[in-house]
Amino acid sequence: MEISLILLILIVPIASSILSLIEKFRMQEISTLSSSIIETMLSILILQNVKSSALVFADDEFAVDYLSAIMIFALSLLYFAASIFSIGYIEHEIMIGEISKERKRLFYSLLNVFIFTMLLVVTTNNIVVMWIAIEATTIASTFLVGIYNKPESLEASWKYLILCSVGLSFSLYGTILFYSISYQAGLTKPWLYSSILNSSNLFSNYISMIKLIFIFLLVGFGTKAGLVPLHAWLPDAHSEAPAPVSALFSGILIECSMYVLMRYYGIMVAVGLGSFVRYIFLIIGLLSMFIASMLMITARDVKRLLAFSSIEQMGIIACGLGFGSYIGIIGAVFQLISHTLIKGSLFLSSGAIMNIYNTRNINRIRGIIKASPVLGTLVLLGMLGIVLCPPFSTFYSGLFVVMSGAEENNLAGIITMIALLVIAFAALVWKFSNMLFGKPSTESNWKIRVWVWLPILLLISLSLIIGIYPGLIWSYLENAAKEVLL
């Protein structure tokens, strides 16, 4: 069962990518949607099987524990939602001449490859393969950012490729150094994450080197996670990519990088560098929240506004790691899946908004609720979720992070974080209120169809469900936090 689950979860999107190159029978939509349904079903099976023990494959080269299972589930849900949304969205883009039919095949094929690379990140137990997989997400998604083949999208894709590759070169150096000292420490499998974690007592002579390695890793993977000050690629890539790709970027790609940082965070705690890494994460988290909040106030592009919000949300996760208590780690893990659901819904909504108004300019978008009551209601709910309003799951994940600061008696950190959350709340409510209410700024014949509202409603509903009934996933959150703090 373990072998079949791990293999299938990786093979299915690759098979879908190949099938998407077939031109006839709407094979792109059929294969991608079918793949996303299968992946979602497999992710549920993995959640069930991981309760007994971690799933392993290929002599421990691949391993899925609670944290991995949560990531796979979140990724699969967003994959499913994006696949539904893409059916009509890409057809609309073809109809208005934004994308050719040839590029449609490329879009779906690369979308599935992109999914595969992210799944590889969260299933591999090999630190070298983990780095390769993160870099592979960059290569696959670069072409998706530039799919429109316009100067703006091509510039954004190159900026994304160069900045992330430069950043990830630091994490490559850190990965190689970690392998080297693991080998010198006498580990039989110095490339396996689990081997390094379980042999943390052997690294007492390498503490200074491990501090340097962590800085390299943080710079590299922090770049891909969109943490300040290496966040410059994120707003451009998110704003120029097609809406389903933006949803995957913000909803799960940057979370994959935070997942990798969580893994290394666990190693740092195990070798006795907990205080060192917590201080760094807290500073970077608060700095990310501050910069993102300021940028949200001045944002004029709806997709860039959402991208800045993603930086802020990653800052909340970093603060959870920075405060460092058990409840803080639970909050950080909870925030991973909560952000996936809410931000995914909002980026999909942004695609529908652009179909109605033919612009991303916030100042030219007015009266969404009157222009499309269904879409307007979904956007309103998404806004409430992203500003951490109860009973959305984002409220509880943010609350747990704040509670962690209280447990650690970090009054300055709590006050600063709450102040930044208030600024972000005010900026987002202000911007969204202007777009949602008032007289519609356009008269459009575009009608919201099931492929638009269904995936958005699915994501928002799931956020509400796990917010109202957190017990549904509480055991997974607790065990994932224990894995990080082992």
Q: What is the pLDDT of residues 87-103, one digit of tens each?
A: 988 888 888 888 877 78
Q: What is the pLDDT of residues 396-440, one digit of tens each?
A: 999 999 999 999 989 999 999 999 999 999 999 999 999 998 888
- Residue 11 within any structural domain of the chain: no
Average pLDDT of 384-394? 94
Percent of the chain with pLDDT over 70: 98
Q: What is the pLDDT of residues 202-226, one digit of tens each?
A: 888 899 999 999 999 999 999 999 8
Average pLDDT of 446-462? 87
- Residue 287 within any structural domain of the chain: yes
The pLDDT value recorded for residue 389 is 93
- Residue 474 within any structural domain of the chain: yes
Domain that holds residue 439: 273-485
Structure confidence at residue 150 as a pLDDT band (50, 70, 90): confident
Cis peptide preceding 391, ω within 30 of 0: yes
- Residue 411 within any structural domain of the chain: yes
Which residue carries 């930044």 as its tokens?
420
Contacts of 161 (CB under 8 A, 6+ apart): 138, 139, 142
Is residue 120 classed as helix, strand or coil in its secondary structure? helix
The pLDDT value recorded for residue 442 is 67
Residue 347 φ/ψ region, left for φ over 0, alpha for ψ in the -120 to 50 degree band, beta for the rest? alpha
Q: Which of 112, 110, 125, 46 is nearest to 79 (CA)?
A: 112
Average pLDDT of 246-251? 90
Length of the chain: 486
- Asked whether the predicted pLDDT for residue 3 surpasses 80, the reply is no
Structurally, how many domains does the chain consist of? Answer: 1
Across the chain, what does the average pLDDT equal?
Answer: 91
Q: What is the pLDDT of residues 23-41, one digit of tens each?
A: 776 888 999 999 999 999 9
The pLDDT value recorded for residue 404 is 94
Average pLDDT of 353-357? 86
Average pLDDT of 137-151? 87
- Asked whether the predicted pLDDT for residue 255 surpasses 60, the reply is yes
Helices 254-270 and 471-485 meet at what angle, rounded to 10?
A: 50
Contacts of 303 (CB under 8 A, 6+ apart): 238, 239, 246, 347, 350, 360
- Residue 186 within any structural domain of the chain: no
The pLDDT value recorded for residue 55 is 85
Alpha helices in 299-372 (DSSP H): 302-323, 326-357, 368-371
Neighbours of 3 (CB within 10 A): 12
The pLDDT value recorded for residue 427 is 95
- CA 110 – CA 242 distance, rounded (Å): 13
- Residue 444 within any structural domain of the chain: yes
- CA 203 – CA 280 distance, rounded (Å): 21
- CA 134 – CA 124 distance, rounded (Å): 11
Alpha helices in 185-325 (DSSP H): 193-198, 207-225, 233-240, 243-248, 254-270, 274-298, 302-323
The pLDDT value recorded for residue 101 is 79
The pLDDT value recorded for residue 117 is 96
The pLDDT value recorded for residue 452 is 85
Average pLDDT of 225-233? 86
Across 29-39, b (16+ Cβ under 10 Å) vs e yields bbbbbebbbbb
CB-CB contact of 460 with 385 (8 Å): yes
Backbone φ, ψ for residue 64 (5° rounding): -130, 115
- Residue 385 within any structural domain of the chain: yes
- Residue 27 within any structural domain of the chain: no
Average pLDDT of 459-478? 95
Structure confidence at residue 2 as a pLDDT band (50, 70, 90): very low
